[in-house]
Copies of this chain bind each other. A is one copy, B any other.
């Protein structure tokens, strides 16, 4: 029911997704009358592939997470997470209030043994492909152990959904040298180095879009600022480019001629294709869609959930963390790499 546009976007998006993926079923959770109305508008009836599941409450986009958690026990978000917990669904996808989704999913699903805090991972484009960055804002006061756990989860995510053995992990810092950075990052580098993971070392902000590593690890404060700063810069550059193409009659004509090229460029940087942040570290698969997602963007978030289920991401994170814990207990310094 969540997101800036609610079921008016998510319901048609789910219907459209099912048309292209015959092996997936979707449960729409929310107020039945609202969901039915959206389905009626599409001339669709619920069936075994597209079920309705009632939830009477809606968490507002600005509602305080703790209050939503305490007071809204029949919210669509909470009910959907309960379906995952009870094994009736394999993943929960929400475009709703991020803080409430984090708090509620942690409360309902609990974290995987060995993971202190769940983290939000997103895919970002790079010059030659894409990279996975975490955490994007779930945790603002991180220890070195948290950053290390993010690295393990991120690497397992990449190896499971991209079928890429032993992905490289970069630690976001302000210089490549070991002496650079704050105390937490320096300690985290030590943990990575003795882990047996494919640790590239420290990377800098420009390495994200350069695609230097498959996984970029940072605390949620830094990751959130990096992501939002990128959004702001992209908007500014787009605004500048638009202004220049509108400056004179000549530039308008040049803009008309260049339109197919500009459009190809825009399709390539279309952030909607990267929609869907994976909430990793929980005993269930949860995907957070951007609140402003349109139908196409929300489908990308659904696809991300399906990819994680098919790749066995959750099971593999549990196994990987177990191996690491076993090795630490047994004092084995080189645990198995991520395969």
Contacts and interface: CB of A to CB of B under 8 A. Distances in A.
Interface residues of A, number: 59
Interface string A202-244: 0011111110000000101110111111111111110111001
A183 B139 CA distance: 12
Contacts of A257: 253-254, 257-258
Nearest to A139: B182
Nearest to A179: B64
A258 B254 contact: yes
Interface in A163-199: 172, 174, 179, 181-183, 185
A48 interface: no
A56 to B, nearest CB: 27
B226 A205 contact: yes
A264 to B, nearest CB: 5
A229 B208 contact: yes
Contacts of A268: 240, 244
Contacts of A265: 240-241, 244
A309 to B, nearest CB: 29
Given A204-B228, A228-B204, A210 B222 contact: no
Contact of A174 (B179, B218, B225): B225
Given A232-B210, A235-B209, A260 B250 contact: yes
A141 B183 contact: yes
Given A127-B235, A257-B257, A205 B183 contact: no
Q: Which of A125, A220, A225, A255 is the most central at the interface, judged by chain B CB atoms within 10 Å of its CB?
A: A225
B231 A127 contact: no
A210 B225 contact: no
A88 to B, nearest CB: 33
A244 B268 CA distance: 9
A242 to B, nearest CB: 10
Contacts of A233: 209, 230, 233-234
A268 B264 CA distance: 23
A231 B206 contact: yes
A230 B229 CA distance: 7
Contacts of A183: 141
A328 interface: no
Nearest to A219: B182
Interface in A238-275: 239-241, 244-245, 247, 250-251, 253-255, 257-258, 260-262, 264-265, 268-269
A140 interface: yes
B251 A172 contact: no
Contacts of A174: 137, 140, 220-221, 224-225, 228
The 8 closest A-B pairs by CB, nearest first: A205-B228, A206-B232, A205-B229, A209-B232, A174-B224, A258-B258, A209-B236, A140-B182
28 contacts: A127-B235, A140-B174, A140-B181, A174-B225, A182-B221, A205-B225, A205-B226, A205-B227, A205-B229, A208-B232, A209-B229, A209-B232, A209-B236, A210-B236, A222-B225, A225-B225, A230-B230, A237-B237, A237-B269, A240-B268, A241-B265, A244-B268, A250-B260, A251-B261, A253-B257, A254-B260, A255-B258, A258-B261
